[in-house]
Structure 1
Amino acid sequence: MKLLSWNVNGLRAICDKNALDWIIKENIDFIGFQEIKAHEDKFPKKIYEYPFKHMYSNSAKRAGYSGVMSLCNFDSEVKKCEFFDDEEGRVLEHRFKNIALFNIYFPNGQKDEERLSFKMKFYADFLVYLDKLLKDGFEIIICGDVNTAHKEIDLTHPKANANTSGFLPIERAWIDDLLKLGFIDTFREINGDIKEKYSWWSYRMKARERNVGWRIDYFFISKGLKDKLKNAFIRDDIFGSDHAPVGIEIDI
């Protein structure tokens, strides 16, 4: 299976730019979008033209904000958020076989202390839920915009951002805890300590052109899927958003 994830920073905008047309040419089984910023009645007609069997969405109550969407070519039982009061449309959970596949737009903590606390509670509640799923016998795939760079290698200016949300010790420690629970950062598993590979760039100061970025979009898998992982990649050749798509190939 080929699975992808992309923070599109606005579904209507990206469809207007024809920036999704590349998915027609690729044999994709699943793509999860984050930050779609639209309710179903405002989805662009073009999104229904792409060659996928199923489309699911979870939109924020607030118009023009957050939201996730999944396009997939396999059958699954789909849940919204089982672990958090999700008024912001952040989670889709797909269950098939013995697998729970999450498409998540994790909160950003940069606005203020209240939003950082919200982000950390989301992180903590999700970790508890994952532990329960593992104990119930599920293998797990997590994809999405995690809004945190894990290691210094994962952003261009780690020292300058040491006190910036997205690279705070408490945020990075959550990824440590996720890995301690047995999860694998698929990009590092396949690509090792390759440098200067990022998934997000600011729109300011020609950051993408200069490759001044952060790797904050991930695929994590539970350790029981490790031997099935064949590839993990960042599609930094794809434009249309301030994020690049990320993906994996996995035998499931």
Structure 2
Amino acid sequence: MPPKRKPENNEEGNSKKKTKLSRKLAEKIQEEPKSLVVKDETEPQTSAAKGAAEQVGIDYSCDARNKHGNTFNVRITNWNVDGLRAWVKKEGLSFVDQEKPDIFCLQETKCSIAKLPKEIKDVKDYKMFWHNSNKEGYAGVGLFSRDEPLSVKYGLGNEEHDSEGRCITAEYEKFYVVSVYVPNAGRNLVTLPKRLEWNKIFKEFIKELDEKKPVIICGDMNVAHNEIDLTNPKTNTKNAGFTKEERDGMTDFLADGYVDTFRQLYPDKTGAYTFWSYMRQARSKNIGWRLDYFILSNRIADNVCDNIIRSEVFGSDHCPITLFINI
């Protein structure tokens, strides 16, 4: 009789291959923004996979006063959830119950309206608005609001970018809120031209809003503006999220009349990040990037009481950020 063949799913052999793959990836890949990093599924995800409900002892209050001496009357939270359905399974909604934002902006929902989880449909106290990509499982933004906005606009008025579901604008009596997910420049910067085109379109779009009312931009801007905004600036100058072109784009945008509120409040604070790769225990080591921002029209910047990075809250490879403002 011929000798028996070894089963195809040789666990020992597969384990060695996986270990070798992990080692190669760890050697090759820098800590880059998420859409550029190949996730090594053979490695267990660390603390970033914990549910938001597991976080206890977090103080969600804010007693800070703005430059006019006022405490906040509006709380806005932003979170790139890296997949709405996965985020719900990690009990992300428990964070919303604890933070209790008046407005909650989400990016990378990756979920069409037809496939919204039941838990989302059952949420009370919020009006919900979605702008989804034509491609299932890609991009997408959302906005929850306790008060009904005066109007809601989906997209920028640009067919190519709007087909990806990257922007929702809600109009309120005294301001606009924009939930935005800026395109990534891609591995090897293959989509950098698309990103730079977006910058021009978005800048003009916001300018038109700002001429009517102050604007509060909440979102994943997919750029670490300055060296202080990521752990390894010197090794990432040619990687998406920290190229000269992208950083200059942010500088140009802010110069048009807007403020990065976190840096206005905390100009010298280091180690303040909102994104960590799933690779190499980046989050537990705080090897990260600050990619998520609240950017405001200059004329309401002094109304800000605080801008908090909730790095202790898990549920995504990004963490939530919260703006406290009196307006």
Write the deviation string for residues 70-118 of structure 1: whole angstroms up to 9, x where unpaired: 1111121110013422100000001111422100011011235442111
Structure showing greater radius of gyration is 2
Q: What corresponds to 2:58 in structure 1?
A: none
Contact 2:81–2:109 under 8 Å retained in 1? yes
Query: Any unmatched runs of 5+ in structure 2?
Result: 1-73
Displacement of 1:142: 0.5
Q: What corresponds to 1:116 in structure 2?
A: 192
Contact 1:67–1:88 under 8 Å retained in 2? yes
Of the three residues 84, 87, 93, the one matched with 1:20 is: 93
Displacement of 1:242: 0.3
Contact 1:83–1:125 under 8 Å retained in 2? no
Whether 1:160 aligns to 2:257 is: no
TM-score, with length taken from structure 2: 0.74
SS of aligned partner of 1:75: coil
Displacement of 1:179: 1.5
Would you say how many aligned residue pairs link Structure 1 and Structure 2? 251
Aligned equivalents of 2:249 and 2:225: distance in 1? Answer: 9
Structural mapping, 1:125-140, within 5 Å: 125-134=201-210, 136-140=211-215
Whether 1:174 aligns to 2:255 is: no
Aligned equivalents of 2:191 and 2:279: distance in 1? Answer: 23
TM-score, with length taken from structure 1: 0.96
> Which amino acid counterpart does residue 267 of structure 2 have in structure 1?
G
| Shift in alpha-carbon separation, 1:160–1:114, aligned structure 2, 3 A | closer
Moved over 4 A (4+): none
Contact 1:139–1:225 under 8 Å retained in 2? yes
RMSD: 1.3
Whether 1:104 aligns to 2:180 is: yes
Of the three residues 148, 169, 174, the one matched with 1:93 is: 169
Contact 1:83–1:126 under 8 Å retained in 2? no
Write the deviation string for residues 185-211 of structure 1: whole angstroms up to 9, x where unpaired: 111112221000100000000000100
SS of aligned partner of 1:159: coil
Query: Any unmatched runs of 5+ in structure 1?
Result: none
Q: Between Structure 1 and Structure 2, which shows a larger proportion of strand residues?
A: 1
> Which amino acid counterpart does residue 90 of structure 1 have in structure 2?
R
Q: Between Structure 1 and Structure 2, which shows a larger proportion of helix residues?
A: 2
Whether 1:207 aligns to 2:282 is: yes
Q: What corresponds to 2:153 in structure 1?
A: 79
SS of aligned partner of 2:110: coil
Instruction: Kindly indicate whether structure 1 or structure 2 has the higher relative contact order, using CA contacts under 8 Å at least 6 residues apart.
Output: 2
